[in-house]
């Protein structure tokens, strides 16, 4: 797989001294894997600098990333759901060798790409989890629902959801349509009576604790995570709202007929605009959730679910002091957001 927000290199071996360049025909499309475009999306040519060069590395991630448009979808009924059509794409590249002496067979590769990334210490060409379940957490606190994104490439054959009494099994097969290959299991916790809901793939287990908050109204943040899929983080504690107003002003010289109107503004405001922001607070969370907090802070696609709809927001918090059980005992965070649009419509 290709995570397009980190470099993804094609390594090309040059086995013959007479090879002087390579051509890469790059095809990018969404939909069915078999429906590749007839003509290449890009044609790349890489010249061999000298005979001593025995390999080339070509980064194709930026070219692919331009074709991925991430949009979330919000569900209410438990089940499997496809992603939005352009959240993932198919990629095919054909490497041809330009050589006046040797006949070298082209190399063809087909891959699947999503808007994820890797960390520096994970090395070159990072990959999603081997489980193909696209979350970093095996334990989450939730209110009324949760999302569990996954890749339907045949690795997972089923996901079983249970609270110990009620059980649902969702069969999962290899999907060749890009929107179905990147998919999400959505669970409405009202389908279960237990406090703990587990999701298993027969080997791994993800635990979701259903929390009832008595004082505050929980807020669900939907964000694009490290693996290029949307998941939620629920903030259970206090929400504080604020409004920032900006404007320009000028001194109004309105003398007329030897006088002026004292009911008119001498200092006149114009181009007034406002932006709403808010502060959210987590419940006490396990130290392992620090990773999801990190992914939320660096995400460039974040929404708050309001009235059942995703509303775009931006992170205002730009730094974080990590808390640990050893140093802090109880771990909670305060994160600041702003709405990703102006209060006064000027579109």
pLDDT tens sequence across 63-72: 999 999 999 9
Q: Are 237 and 305 in contact (CB under 8 A)?
A: no
**To which H or E segment does residue 291 belong?**
helix 290-298
In a domain, 273, yes or no: no
Q: What's the rounded mean pLDDT across residues 6-34?
A: 97
Q: What's the rounded mean pLDDT across residues 163-181?
A: 96
Q: Which of 132-146, 223-237, 254-268, 269-283 has the lowest mean pLDDT?
A: 254-268
Nearest Cα to Cα of residue 337 among 325, 324, 306, 323: 306
> Please, which residues have CB within 8 angstroms of residue 48's CB and are 6 or more apart in sequence?
14, 19, 20, 21, 22, 56
In a domain, 300, yes or no: no
Q: DSSP class of residue 259?
A: B
In a domain, 69, yes or no: yes
Cα distances (angstroms) measured from residue 229 to each of 108, 135, 165, 241: 27, 8, 30, 28
- Which tokens go with 246? 């900006």
In a domain, 200, yes or no: no
pLDDT tens for each residue of 95-142: 999 999 999 999 999 999 999 999 999 999 999 999 999 999 999 999
Work out how many domains the chain is built from and give that number: 1
User: What percent of the chain is predicted at pLDDT more than 90?
Assistant: 87
Question: Residue 334 CB: number of other CB atoms within 10 A?
Answer: 14
In a domain, 192, yes or no: no
Backbone angles phi, psi at 23, to 5 degrees: -120, 135
In a domain, 151, yes or no: no
In a domain, 12, yes or no: yes
The CA distance from 232 to 223, in Å, is: 6
In a domain, 91, yes or no: yes
Structure confidence at residue 263 (pLDDT): 74
Residue 253 has pLDDT above 80, yes or no: no
Q: At which residue do the structure tokens 């030897």 appear?
A: 258
Q: Look up the domain containing 19 and give its range.
A: 2-76+86-122
Question: Residue 237 CB: number of other CB atoms within 10 A?
Answer: 17
**To which H or E segment does residue 328 belong?**
helix 325-328
Nearest Cα to Cα of residue 231 among 167, 301, 324: 301
CATH number at residue 108: 2.60.40
Structure confidence at residue 286 (pLDDT): 93
Q: Which pTM was predicted?
A: 0.91
Q: Mean pLDDT in the chain?
A: 94
């Amino acid at each position: 797989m290709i995570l397009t927000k980190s470099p993804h290199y094609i390594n090309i071996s040059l086995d013959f001294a007479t090879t002087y360049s390579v051509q890469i025909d790059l095809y990018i499309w969404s939909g069915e894997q078999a429906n590749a475009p007839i003509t290449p999306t890009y044609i790349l040519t890489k010249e061999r600098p000298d005979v001593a060069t025995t390999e080339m590395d070509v980064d194709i991630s930026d070219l692919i990333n331009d074709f991925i448009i991430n949009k979330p979808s919000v569900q209410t009924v438990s089940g499997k759901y496809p992603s939005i059509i352009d959240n993932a794409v198919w990629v095919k590249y054909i490497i041809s060798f330009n050589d006046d002496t040797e006949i070298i067979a082209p190399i063809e590769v087909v891959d699947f790409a999503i808007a994820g990334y890797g960390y520096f210490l994970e090395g070159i060409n990072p990959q999603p989890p081997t489980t193909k379940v696209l979350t970093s957490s095996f334990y989450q606190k939730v209110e009324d629902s949760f999302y569990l994104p996954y890749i339907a490439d045949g690795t997972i054959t089923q996901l079983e959801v249970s609270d110990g009494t009620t059980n649902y099994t969702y069969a999962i097969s290899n999907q060749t349509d890009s929107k179905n290959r990147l998919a999400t299991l959505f669970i409405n916790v009202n389908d279960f009576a237990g406090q703990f809901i587990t999701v298993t793939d027969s080997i791994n287990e993800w635990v979701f604790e259903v929390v009832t908050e008595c004082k505050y109204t929980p807020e669900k943040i939907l964000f694009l995570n490290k693996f290029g899929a949307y998941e939620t983080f629920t903030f259970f504690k206090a929400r504080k709202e604020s409004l920032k107003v900006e404007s320009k002003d000028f001194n109004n010289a309105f003398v007329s007929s030897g006088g002026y109107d004292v009911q008119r503004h001498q200092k006149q405001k114009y181009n007034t605009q406002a932006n709403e922001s808010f502060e959210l607070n987590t419940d006490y969370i396990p130290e392992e959730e620090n990773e999801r907090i990190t992914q939320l802070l660096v995400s460039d696609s974040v929404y708050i679910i309001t009235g059942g709809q995703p509303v775009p927001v931006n992170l205002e918090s730009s730094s974080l002091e990590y808390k640990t059980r050893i140093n802090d005992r109880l771990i909670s965070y305060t994160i600041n957001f702003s709405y990703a649009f102006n209060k006064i419509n000027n579109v």
